Structure 1
Amino acid sequence: MKSKTMEEHKKTAPSMIRCAIITLSDSQSREYGTVERPPSTDTSGQLLYENLKEKYQLIGYKLIGDDPKSLISAVNEMIRKGAMVIFTTGGTGIGKRDITIETLRGLFEKELEGFGEIFRYESYRELGAGAILTRATAGIYKDSLIIALPGSPNAVKMGLNIILDELGHIIKHVMEHTKNR
């Protein structure tokens, strides 16, 4: 059953949303550095780029290594450029070099646990118990929404299917929170 309030919020949500993409990849960052458009070898970045540009304004893309300082710097750079939503892809596994979740959770003023819960549920439906390894999350930092997705193209597709239609609704709430400070 749909909520009438939620449907009303969606009707009054902003239509122009500025998005940015940050891909974390040690192997690719050395070869490409920072580019305006994801390189063809960044499949997940390309997926984000192609899906987001259809409906939203893309204001930045950055390809970085798996390094907490680089991630924090890239997030802050995208926020300075005006990003309302930042998608990260990669670095969400359980390996020693996977630092995305721990780094972002250290920044989040509010974590949106529901995104990760839904993502894991959908992963479980598709993959079975291996979904235990899935660490996608989302949160608010400096009045911007950050969505942390795994690096696999299938995970990016799943995350986009979950979040794309809700972006305006979430940003509406973020903007109201900002206005009430």
Structure 2
Amino acid sequence: MDPSHIKKISVQVIILVISSTRTEKEDTAGKAIQTLFQDLSIPVIRTEIIPDNIEKIQNSLKRALTDANCVILTGGTGITHDDCTIEAVEPLLDKKMDGFGELFRMKSYTEIGTRTVLSRAVGGIMNGKAVFCIPGSKHAAELATRDIIIPEIYHILTHANR
């Protein structure tokens, strides 16, 4: 595809770390995501730790989207009883980007094999802004951010705002 249609949009990022047990000191995934963006001079407005609670996740996401056009939620995407990030976010999406989760799982498969079936990574658009739900491990967060989100964020936001 001809990349000339992609606009150099100003990207502002907010990272929501979903965890009922991690503290700011213990958060490695959010810090890894922040470093990857900052290394490219893409501003990260803030990082917040949100407990595994659907209402709190939804409220935090809505608030984040008033300040940023790219929100990354890391954690709470697994299949344990308290993992609820996907249940909180999917109903709010205007459009779901199925390819994001598919590509993330494909890339993960080459590294962790069939354990990738436990990943429920999701990407989508809400109010013309990009939203990504990715696993909470540092390695998975780096993989999704470095290999998929950063290379495509301008393309995604260009199309989301047509």
The two structures have a TM-score, normalised by structure 1, of 0.84
List structure 1 runs of 4+ shifted beyond 2 angstroms: none
Question: Is residue 2:134 matched to residue 1:174?
Answer: no
Question: Is residue 2:108 matched to residue 1:114?
Answer: no
Q: How far apart, CA to CA, are the structure 2 residues paired with 1:21 and 1:123?
A: 21
Instruction: Give 3-state SS (helix, strand or coil) of 2:79's partner.
Output: coil
Residues 110-119 or 162-171, more deviating: 162-171
Instruction: Give 3-state SS (helix, strand or coil) of 1:148's partner.
Output: strand
Aligned to 1:8: 4
Shift of the alpha carbon at 1:123?
A: 1.2
Unpaired runs of 5+ residues, structure 2, are: none
Q: How far apart, CA to CA, are the structure 2 residues paired with 1:9 and 1:170?
A: 11
Question: Is residue 2:37 matched to residue 1:42?
Answer: no
Larger Rg: 1
Q: How far apart, CA to CA, are the structure 2 residues paired with 1:121 and 1:54?
A: 26
Q: How far apart, CA to CA, are the structure 2 residues paired with 1:47 and 1:25?
A: 16
Q: Deviations over 1:46-72 (max 9, x none)?
A: 001111123312222210100001101
Question: Is residue 2:144 matched to residue 1:159?
Answer: yes
Instruction: Give 3-state SS (helix, strand or coil) of 1:80's partner.
Output: coil
Shift of the alpha carbon at 1:9?
A: 2.4
Q: How far apart, CA to CA, are the structure 1 residues paired with 2:74 and 2:48?
A: 11
Unpaired runs of 5+ residues, structure 1, are: 33-38, 177-181
Alignment of 1:1-181 (within 5 A): 3-4=1-2, 7-10=3-6, 12-14=7-9, 16-28=10-22, 32=23, 39-55=24-40, 56-81=42-67, 83-160=68-145, 161-176=147-162
The two structures have a TM-score, normalised by structure 2, of 0.93
Count of residues in correspondence between the two structures: 160
Between structures 1 and 2, the one with greater helix share: 1
